[in-house]
Amino acid sequence: MKLTKMSHSCVRLERDGRALVIDPGGFTEPDAAVGAEAVLVTHEHPDHFDEGRLRAALEADPATEIWTLRAVAEQLTAAFPGRVHTVGHGDTFTAAGFDVEVHGELHAVIHPDIPRITNVGYLVDGGAVFHPGDALTVPDRPVRTLMLPVMAPWNKISEVIDYVREVRPERAYDVHDALLTDLARPIYDRQIGALGGTEHLRLEPGASARL
């Protein structure tokens, strides 16, 4: 499997000439989802869900399909009938040749005064990759590669470290990092790497790794 990190929280998985993209939002390259057979969206916040980027992908290839929660699906289903699938915690499906399980239900707490929205995470190929979206969801099975939401308005570094410790992946790659400045990156790298208990890695946008 080839993992390509796109800007912010978006990743692209490829195998055997087929591609799956997760969370092509407003901080991500405009064509991030174009050419993907399947697109997964974790929740409705604009840094994870950008309607224009999804429409571009759906219009570019009539075979492209989307799997997402209801709040996002409702904004696309009418224009693309039969190509937008609503999923929730516990669901399983196959997309672009990848087996996917849905884990989680709610976005992490930003502030007690802000109502929580729905959020789902996607476990790909039985734990080969887990992308939690905007939550610190712990799947009920081993995870080999964790996409780690490293910096967000709803988390702090101690929570990120404890999340890595709880999931216990073989490796963790940073996502949700568009707001992390170059000055702060070495601090996060050092602390998560030293305290997380697993291999902590970071890819620049457009860079890839083989899993």
What residues does each domain of the chain span? 2-107+120-204
pLDDT confidence of 159, banded at 50, 70, 90? Answer: very high
Give the helix/strand (H/E) hosting 136: none
| Residue 22 β-bridge partners | 11, 40
What band does 3 get if pLDDT is binned at 50, 70 and 90?
very high
The count of C-alpha atoms lying within 13 angstroms of the C-alpha of 147, restricted to the half-sphere facing its C-beta, is 32
Q: How high is the mean pLDDT of the chain?
A: 97
> For 38-62, what is the mean pLDDT?
96
- At 146 the pLDDT is 98
Query: Checking phi first, is residue 4 left (phi over 0); if not, alpha (psi -120 to 50) or beta?
Result: beta
Contact between 133 and 105 (Cβ < 8 Å): no
The amino acid occupying position 176 is: H
Task: Write out the CATH class of domain 2-107+120-204.
Answer: alpha beta
Maximum Cα interatomic distance, the chain, rounded to a whole number of Å: 48
Query: Residue 7: what pLDDT?
Result: 98
Structure tokens at 93: 């499906």
Q: DSSP letters of 144-198?
A: SEEEEE-S-TT--HHHHHHHHHHH--SEEEEES-TT--TTTHHHHHHHHHHHSSS
DSSP string, 6-55: -STT-EEEEETTEEEEE---TTS-TTTTTT-SEEEE--SSTTT--HHHHH
Structure confidence by residue, pLDDT tens digits, 77-111: 999 999 999 999 999 999 999 999 999 999 999 99
**Percentage of the chain modeled with pLDDT above 90:** 100
| 210: alpha, beta or left? (left if phi > 0; alpha if psi -120 to 50) | beta
- Quote the percentage of the chain above a pLDDT of 70: 100
CA atoms of 53 and 30, how far apart (whole Å): 6
